[in-house]
Chains A and B, each alone.
Chain A
Amino acid sequence: MTGVEVPELRVAWLLIWFLVGAGVALALVRGGLPWPWAALALVGWPVLFPLLRPLGGREPPVPAGPLASAITETFAALASLRASPLSAPLDCDEELVRLQASLERIDARLAVVDTILADGGPELLPLRAARARSVAECHAVLQGIRNLRVQLGLLTLAGDTAPVRTQLSALQARVAALEELDQNRGQEPLVNT
């Protein structure tokens, strides 16, 4: 390398660095980052690369399945009951949020299954039966959540948290088993060919 080529190489590297930085900054602005913050990518684009995925690749919303409204209504009713000032306080927000999220995931899978079943055909009978079992189980869990009101009433009157905890644990175990069952089914062919 001669003495003349070295400076040209330095200028080229600087140009490439800023061009790539400009590209990353543009992508960040398009992804929703305010431009003054995105402009920092001109200098430090390699460390701002991780921002491209969460900004640009937003996860699509979970599709609403056949039980979406039932899930929302059941949990909303329970939340309004718990929000009452006369209701006994119980630290179970996290469990309820997890329970609702699990049910929504199962519901989203049911939505996918419904799309497949819409095509019809006798070969889909095993899938139809599996769907019916999952829906029945979800309904049973939702009924269990409605029944939580009874335990919450007991808690308000007698201050006994054990029945609520027991019922919640039973429901969580039931939903976990249902999710696991669905995942295992997902690894197997849905339709016997």
Chain B
Amino acid sequence: MEPTLLSLAADVLRRPLEVVERVAEQPALLPQVLPRLVLLALVGGGVFGAVTGMYRGGPQVLYAAVKMPLLLLIPPMIVLPAARALVALDGPALSGQRLATACLVGMSRTAMLSVALTPPLWLLYRTDLSHQSALAWMLGSLALVGLPGLITVVRAMFPAGSPRGSQLALVALLGLVFAQTGWLLRPFMSMHGTGYPLLCAVDHDIFSGLQVRLLSTREAPTDWDCANPLVLGSHR
């Protein structure tokens, strides 16, 4: 039976691994399932992004709504080849179909879980919250909903009894690529008094960037501003 968007969403939240197995057993379901999973990730991530963008308001709501789903979708796409190699170390290689399904189920699960966090986050952003605190809350929320998604991806890729080392390596790899992609796509929330950049130029990596900005004791508002930002196709 062709899955509807709602039934698929319920299955992804309740029984994510069953969805992966069902699609693996019935490849004819792929054309129905994969696009719907992409849509769920886009919608869920978009809602969460829009709420984080509300901290600043204006065009930032739209920018963050566009960027947040990309943050969910791009890292698994980058990690897919490496994940395939890691899985092949411990057993038979996985098909591209199963890899794509596993990644999309994990990411759409994260996206839908993130929607559940939007009401408290939105209320929090209505308060007089500092930029650093707002960012920390957003990162914390992402980590909270990202973990179930990551676990789903890893469990769907590795059969039961696989060595823990390869699984941890995949989690670490996905986590690193997520962090760096988030850094490249930043800011999800631009600061008050600055512009509305769509894309920032590459400066530093996630670790050195956060060390400078989050751990710094001095207030350095321009530090969060983008270097050489791209604003809807033109440069500020």
Residues 100-117 of B, flagged 1 when their CB comes within 8 A of A and 0 if not, give 110110000000000000
In Å, the complex CA distance between A43 and B67 comes to 11
Please state if A33 and B31 are interface contacts (CB–CB under 8 Å): yes
Please state if A44 and B73 are interface contacts (CB–CB under 8 Å): yes
Please state if B38 and A40 are interface contacts (CB–CB under 8 Å): yes
Please state if A50 and B100 are interface contacts (CB–CB under 8 Å): yes
Judged by a CB distance under 8 angstroms, whether A7 is at the interface is: yes
Residues of A within 8 A of B201 (CB): 3, 6-7, 10
In Å, the complex CA distance between A37 and B101 comes to 16
Please state if B77 and A47 are interface contacts (CB–CB under 8 Å): yes
In Å, the complex CA distance between A6 and B235 comes to 11
**Shortest distance between the CB of A133 and any CB in chain B (Å):** 35
For B78, the closest partner residue in chain A by CB is A46
Please state if A46 and B35 are interface contacts (CB–CB under 8 Å): no
SS class, residues of chain B in contact with chain A: helix
Please state if B42 and A50 are interface contacts (CB–CB under 8 Å): no
Please state if B42 and A40 are interface contacts (CB–CB under 8 Å): yes
In Å, the complex CA distance between A7 and B201 comes to 7
For B69, the closest partner residue in chain A by CB is A43
Contact of B42 among A33, A43, A49, A51 (CB under 8 A): A43
Residues 37-63 of A, flagged 1 when their CB comes within 8 A of B and 0 if not, give 110100110111111001100000000
Q: How many pairs, one residue from A and one from B, have CB atoms within 8 Å of each other in the complex? A: 72
For A3, the closest partner residue in chain B by CB is B228
Residues of B within 8 A of A40 (CB): 35, 38-39, 42
Judged by a CB distance under 8 angstroms, whether B30 is at the interface is: yes
Contact of B35 among A3, A10, A33 (CB under 8 A): A33
**Shortest distance between the CB of B43 and any CB in chain A (Å):** 11
Residues of A within 8 A of B235 (CB): 7
Judged by a CB distance under 8 angstroms, whether B76 is at the interface is: yes
Judged by a CB distance under 8 angstroms, whether B27 is at the interface is: yes
Please state if B76 and A47 are interface contacts (CB–CB under 8 Å): yes
In Å, the complex CA distance between A6 and B38 comes to 29
Residues of B within 8 A of A51 (CB): 30-31, 34-35
Contact of A7 among B38, B42, B228 (CB under 8 A): B228
Residues of B within 8 A of A54 (CB): 27-28, 30-31
For A50, the closest partner residue in chain B by CB is B97
In Å, the complex CA distance between A43 and B230 comes to 19
In Å, the complex CA distance between A147 and B3 comes to 42
Judged by a CB distance under 8 angstroms, whether A158 is at the interface is: no
Given contacts A40-B39, A50-B34, contact A10 B104 (CB under 8 A): no
In Å, the complex CA distance between A49 and B235 comes to 34
Please state if B230 and A7 are interface contacts (CB–CB under 8 Å): yes
Supplied contacts A44-B77, A51-B34, A54-B28, 12 more A-B pairs, CB within 8 Å: A6-B201, A7-B235, A37-B31, A38-B35, A40-B35, A40-B42, A43-B69, A47-B76, A47-B103, A48-B34, A49-B100, A54-B27
30 CB contacts below 8 A, A to B, read A3-B227, A3-B228, A6-B201, A6-B202, A6-B228, A7-B230, A7-B235, A10-B201, A10-B230, A11-B233, A37-B35, A37-B36, A40-B35, A40-B38, A43-B42, A43-B69, A44-B38, A44-B42, A46-B100, A47-B100, A47-B103, A48-B100, A49-B96, A50-B34, A50-B95, A50-B101, A51-B30, A51-B31, A54-B27, A54-B31
Those 5 A-B pairs whose CB atoms lie nearest each other, nearest first: A37-B35, A46-B77, A50-B97, A44-B38, A40-B38
